[in-house]
A and B are shown apart, each in its own frame.
Chain A
Amino acid sequence: MIETLATYFDGQSARNRTVHLRDDGDALSFSGPETPKTIWNIRGLHPIDAPTKGQPYRLTHDAKPGARLIITDEAFIQNLISHSNHLRGGYSMRDIANIFGWTVGGLGVCAALTYLAMWILPDRVAHVLPQSWREKTGTEMETTLSGGAKRCQTPAGEHALGTIVAALAEGTPSLPAVSIHVYDMPLVNAFAVSGGKIIVTRGLLDKAETAEEFTGVLAHEMGHVWHFHPEAQIVRLGGMEVLSSIFTGTNGGNATTNVAMLATVLRSSRAAEAEADQFANEALINAKIDPKGLRSFFEKIMKMEKDQGSNGAMLGEIGSIFSTHPGTEDRIKNIQLLPSGVVAKPVLTDQEWQALKKMCG
């Protein structure tokens, strides 16, 4: 049995009380002139700080969390902690479990939210968005993408475009309603934007050698429209912005998360490209239009990629919808040709094709 004098604060008054303290092995008992005899079992004791040499040692107890017992007797402290390990202070297993649990849990929630926002929600939401929203957003996107370039419109050209759509619709009656706008822009590109709008550049018309090549590209863009890819992408970008703000606690995210998010978008658009390719291929076969046109256009894109690839221009001047997607070679390989015995129908007459090509003068 070991005894000493200690100071006691009862948690009710700031008055300091001197008490006579005794270590009974399984409990501390103390009493003083103004303090009735109190027994604190060792298990319920908590150190306020880890014991430090030369510093008073402060204890509290589960039974009276506001009370403080302050011990200065070094020998008494050493004896007490020698038989009660939990009084040494520092992190308890519970603290560690808390930090670890919240961290892993937090990361799990982040991962689940990301999965939801990137892969599950965009597609679902895209299918239920109101038509008025699709059209309004599509018009905004068209204005942004065309960047003030002149829209090319000739009666003969419009007629040729209508003929292509009609030819495709003959094979695929469920073909989505689209409006195709040609802009006087030098880059080789075609975009599907929300609301069934397809934007085609003069560069693309120049680059395409046959009506079949051009029809292949249009069918591909119609695939995007059919799958609501532009709408899904808008929803995905919005979700990304929310997540990046939430994860980083900033408005707009930081460089690291933005790169990670961009990678996710690119990945998702690869999947979308494959879907659009498949749609295009089927639509061409159904309409008896030679898919070799689509293939030869891909080959041209591949050549352009190679020419520019050395400058790392994957996202550069071509800026092509195709160029953001790797494996153009794979895509070429995946194109199914017309079944044997089926004779390809020409999409446009030579005159119609020339009228289309000259739309921008």
Chain B
Amino acid sequence: MQSPPFDSAATQQAPEALRFEYVPRPGLFKITLINLVLNILTLSIYRFWGKTNVRKHIWSCIHINGEPLEYTGTAMELFKGFLFVFGLFIMPLVIINALLKLNYGNQSPIVFATNSLFGLFVYVMYGYAIYKARKYQLTRTLWRGIRGNLVGSAMTYSITYFGALLAKGASLGWATPVMNTVLHEQITNDMRFGDAAFKFKGRAGPLYPTYALCWFLVGVLSIFFIAWGVSLVAGNFEGLFEKTPSQKETLGILYGLAIIVLVVVVYFLLSPVVWSIYIAKEMRTFANYTRFDGAQFKLNATAGSIIWLTIGNVLILVFTLTFGWPFVQQRTFRYMAQRLELEGAIDIDRIQQSQAAIPTRGEGLADAFDVSAW
């Protein structure tokens, strides 16, 4: 074979615009099936290998300017993370709890207080788990040989996260746009690709009209359904005293069922649908607030597409008894890859590998708390 000549122009690259693409590859179904079988055979210890294989697959389907992402994490790193958290937190907690129960009895206030403290610990460390998991995944994500990172403090993020939880609760949700902006700003400003930084700048103000709309819409819907439920009961209340006990019992069951159906309809169907409007707005806004090396992100997220994505994901999980989660992850990443744009050119060639430290094990706490990095 003759050796082809060099195209000298190819090595002289000007700043270029970045295009995101999801290029599907076969193989995810096979990975899912193997996960299912081996998870059962190994009593779920295989999950670390399964997760790693799924990520390798999905990452490699996301192309930026024709070059795929690469997931370089290994199952052993996840397994070590699990063992670390298990040995350092879970096992001691369980043993302490059992000893206290043994000594003071199940109903003792000391046992209750200790359990509450453990619960508080989980909430305080929630943000830590998210931050560390995302840091692990970023440092295991390679594009053109360069890896990402999070260079800030996980504990600072965790404290902010906990504060945000309290503020959201105390304000009946109204602190959500502000707190989400603060959290997003913190973690995005810590994000690196090689030695290039992501920048997040923007106010929560523009999110409020949409937030208010959704908040009142959910409120009005709830009031409407409660009123409707009450009128239904009241309408049948006449003559209730003339009914036999068994008739009363049947009516009671019917009303009980009606109330359950109402709660399900409002909280699991209507409320998520309404809130999708806000979520889409927030995702678009945060993308607009984010810059990378002078270029600005843009995300084409709409309420309709998010509802569709969520319904599909829920159906997959329900009908596969959660074993279909790799496809849920695929759909979610594909959604982002297909709708994310970066406006402006970037001098990619200038980006150098960062010397910042990278973790040697990953996601132990996230695995224990069952939280996702994204």
Which A residues form the contact surface with B (CB < 8 A)?
Answer: 2-5, 9-18, 20, 22, 32-34, 48-49, 52, 55-56, 58, 66-68, 70, 75, 95, 98-99, 102-103, 106-107, 133, 140, 234-235, 238-239, 241-242, 245-246, 249, 251
Neighbouring B residues of A16 by C-beta, 8 Å: 13, 67, 144, 349
Q: B94, A106: Cβ atoms under 8 Å?
A: no
Q: B3, A68: Cβ atoms under 8 Å?
A: no
A-B contact pairs, 18 of them (CB 8 A): A3-B1, A12-B353, A13-B145, A13-B352, A13-B353, A14-B350, A16-B67, A16-B349, A20-B3, A33-B8, A33-B11, A67-B145, A99-B45, A106-B45, A140-B105, A235-B102, A246-B94, A251-B94
B101 contacts chain A at the CB level, 8 A cutoff: yes
Neighbouring A residues of B349 by C-beta, 8 Å: 13-16
Given contacts A32-B6, A48-B70, A55-B25, contact A14 B42 (CB under 8 A): no
Which B residues form the contact surface with A (CB < 8 A)?
Answer: 1-4, 6-8, 10-11, 13, 25-26, 38, 41-43, 45-46, 49, 56, 60, 67-68, 70, 75-76, 79, 90-91, 94-95, 97-99, 101-103, 105, 142-146, 194, 348-353, 368
Bound together, the chains give a CA A2 to CA B146 distance in angstroms of 29
Neighbouring A residues of B46 by C-beta, 8 Å: 99, 103
Which single residue of chain B is at the shortest CB-CB distance from A7? B67
Q: A52, B25: Cβ atoms under 8 Å?
A: yes
Neighbouring B residues of A251 by C-beta, 8 Å: 94, 97
Neighbouring B residues of A52 by C-beta, 8 Å: 25-26
Q: B353, A11: Cβ atoms under 8 Å?
A: yes
Give, as a whole number of angstroms, the nearest-CB distance from B3 to chain A: 4
Instruction: Identify the 9 closest CB pairs spanning chains A and B, nearest first.
Output: A9-B145, A15-B349, A14-B351, A103-B42, A14-B144, A238-B102, A3-B3, A11-B145, A242-B98
Give, as a whole number of angstroms, the nearest-CB distance from A350 to chain B: 43
Q: A242, B94: Cβ atoms under 8 Å?
A: yes
Residue of A10, A95, A102, A235 most packed against chain B (CB within 10 A)? A102
Bound together, the chains give a CA A215 to CA B154 distance in angstroms of 67
Q: A14, B348: Cβ atoms under 8 Å?
A: yes
Neighbouring B residues of A98 by C-beta, 8 Å: 75-76
Give, as a whole number of angstroms, the nearest-CB distance from A53 to chain B: 10
Q: Identify A66's interface contact among B67, B91, B145, B368, CB under 8 A.
A: B145
Which single residue of chain B is at the shortest CB-CB distance from A240? B98
Give, as a whole number of angstroms, the nearest-CB distance from B138 to chain A: 15
Q: A238, B353: Cβ atoms under 8 Å?
A: no
Q: B351, A103: Cβ atoms under 8 Å?
A: no
Bound together, the chains give a CA A12 to CA B146 distance in angstroms of 7
Which single residue of chain A is at the shortest CB-CB distance from B70? A48
Q: Beyond the given A9-B146, A16-B349, A235-B102, could you list 19 further A-B residue pairs with CB under 8 A, ordered by the A residue number?
A: A2-B1, A11-B146, A11-B353, A12-B145, A12-B352, A13-B353, A14-B144, A14-B194, A14-B349, A14-B350, A18-B6, A32-B11, A33-B11, A34-B11, A55-B25, A56-B68, A68-B142, A98-B75, A103-B41
